[in-house]
């Protein structure tokens, strides 16, 4: 009886926490606009996009242990699939509910194309191949404008149709009673719903039979194969699932921005998404979300270093762009030195890293 009461209380606490979190997320853009301005509400939209991207890459890197430095390629595939089929470029204006899943499917197909020839590669070799794949996609997008103009080259694709579901246009300002809801708010709630869906799928995958197979491959691929796991299919599934989440985010990005170009999908984007996973806690969904929030918000907040220098010193001694990246880089180095498991790691990864540290310390002492 006591166990049942304690179990019910735990469930009630979990439900209460979930309801409070949902309420906070629903009113968050209003609080941000009131305190920081509407431009920061738009930043919240990008935070949610990067959360989805980081959760997609977490499947490949965190769950399956496959180092992928070309993940931005799937982001680009999803964005260009949406842009080309919802703009005057080809004269097609397909609806959102067709384009978004189509972009995810196309990106998943490219994920399989990347995964198939890399099944025998591990570690640094896999990272180099995926890095090359990401650069190839970007170069293709930059040069496929002759002799047949497919991607419009470096000029990108503009006049992309905004996201519209039924008669509701997310790019327009709407009034509900006395409350005026701008486009940034519309996209925030859409992206919040999509991010919640991605989190739900990620949690279900983590606790599923497939998730346990990914964990086995991450720990020891040879032992996983010896236990009967089809490592080839499971690794391809990891690439496909992670890529589909990237394609989903890319489609949302294209409809949100109204313009895409190859410059938006450079190597630094892949590195930043990987840093979000490593910083937050590889393989742990709350940690990945925390890493995505920090590495999206902090670089923007550090843009105000010039204003702070002017207020404190009366003169801007170091350009904000240079100082911003310096502070950002030093922060990452310090976190990796003193908390290599990430800011919010899973219990398993924390135990593994600290157990390894204890073994190394004992060997040195002996």
**How many beta carbons lie within 10 A of that of residue 365, not counting itself?**
6
**How many beta carbons lie within 10 A of that of residue 198, not counting itself?**
22
Higher pLDDT, 84 or 35: 84
Strand residue runs (E) in the chain = 86-87, 92-93, 164-165, 168-169, 174-176, 179-181
pLDDT of residue 5 exceeding 70? no
- Asked if residues 158 and 258 have their Cβ atoms less than 8 Å apart, the reply is yes
Q: Which tokens belong to 14?
A: 């979990």
Please report which confidence band the pLDDT of residue 8 belongs to, taking 50, 70 and 90 as the band edges. low
Condensed to tens digits (0 to 9), the pLDDT of residues 138-193 reads 999 999 998 889 999 999 999 999 999 888 899 888 887 777 888 999 999 999 99
Q: Which of 53, 15, 37, 30 is nearest to 251 (CA)?
A: 53
Higher pLDDT, 119 or 324: 119
Q: What is the DSSP letter of 116?
A: G
pLDDT of residue 192: 95
The rounded radius of gyration (Å) of the Cα atoms in the chain is 22
pLDDT of residue 254 exceeding 90? yes
The pLDDT of 94-117, averaged and rounded, is 93
pLDDT of residue 358: 57
- Asked if residues 130 and 67 have their Cβ atoms less than 8 Å apart, the reply is yes
Q: How far is 48 from 300, CA to CA, in rounded Å?
A: 15
237 Cβ contact list (under 8 Å, min separation 6): 210
Q: How far is 357 from 365, CA to CA, in rounded Å?
A: 12
pLDDT of residue 222 exceeding 60? yes
pLDDT of residue 228 exceeding 60? yes
Kindly report which listed range (122-126, 312-316, 349-353) carries the lowest average pLDDT score. Answer: 349-353
pLDDT of residue 1: 46
Condensed to tens digits (0 to 9), the pLDDT of residues 320-348 reads 777 777 777 888 888 888 888 888 887 77
pTM exceeds 0.85, yes or no:
yes
Condensed to tens digits (0 to 9), the pLDDT of residues 190-221 reads 999 999 999 999 999 988 999 999 999 988 88
């Amino acid at each position: 009886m006591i166990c049942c009461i304690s179990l019910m209380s735990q469930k009630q606490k979990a439900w209460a926490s979930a309801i409070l979190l949902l309420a906070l997320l629903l009113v968050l853009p209003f609080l941000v606009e009131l305190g920081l301005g509407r431009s920061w509400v738009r930043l919240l939209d990008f935070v949610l996009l990067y959360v989805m991207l980081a959760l997609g890459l977490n499947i490949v890197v965190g769950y399956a242990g496959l180092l992928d430095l070309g993940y931005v390629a799937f982001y680009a595939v999803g964005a260009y699939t949406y842009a080309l089929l919802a703009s005057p470029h080809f004269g097609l204006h397909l609806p959102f509910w067709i384009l978004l899943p189509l972009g995810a499917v196309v990106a998943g197909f490219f994920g399989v194309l990347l995964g198939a020839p890399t099944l025998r590669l591990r570690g640094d070799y896999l990272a180099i191949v995926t890095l090359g794949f990401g650069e190839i996609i970007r170069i293709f997008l930059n040069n496929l404008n002759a002799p047949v103009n497919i991607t419009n080259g470096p000029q990108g694709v503009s006049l992309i149709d905004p996201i519209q579901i039924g008669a509701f246009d997310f790019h327009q300002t709407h009034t509900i009673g006395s409350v005026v809801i701008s486009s940034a708010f519309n996209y925030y709630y859409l992206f919040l719903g999509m991010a919640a869906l991605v989190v739900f799928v990620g949690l279900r995958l983590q606790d599923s039979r497939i998730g346990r197979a990914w964990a086995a491959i991450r720990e020891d691929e040879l032992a996983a194969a010896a236990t009967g796991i089809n490592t080839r299919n499971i690794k391809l599934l990891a690439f496909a699932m992670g890529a589909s989440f990237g394609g989903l985010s890319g489609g949302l990005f294209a409809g949100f921005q109204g313009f895409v170009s190859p410059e938006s999908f450079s190597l630094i984007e892949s590195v930043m998404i990987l840093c979000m996973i490593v910083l937050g806690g590889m393989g742990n969904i709350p940690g990945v979300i925390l890493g995505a929030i920090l590495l999206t918000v902090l670089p923007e907040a550090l843009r105000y270093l010039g204003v702070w220098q002017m207020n404190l010193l009366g003169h801007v001694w170091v350009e904000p762009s240079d100082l911003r990246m310096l502070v950002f880089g030093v922060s990452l180095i310090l976190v990796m030195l003193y908390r290599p498991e990430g800011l919010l790691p899973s219990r398993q990864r924390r135990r593994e890293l600290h157990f390894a540290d204890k073994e190394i310390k004992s060997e040195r002492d002996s």
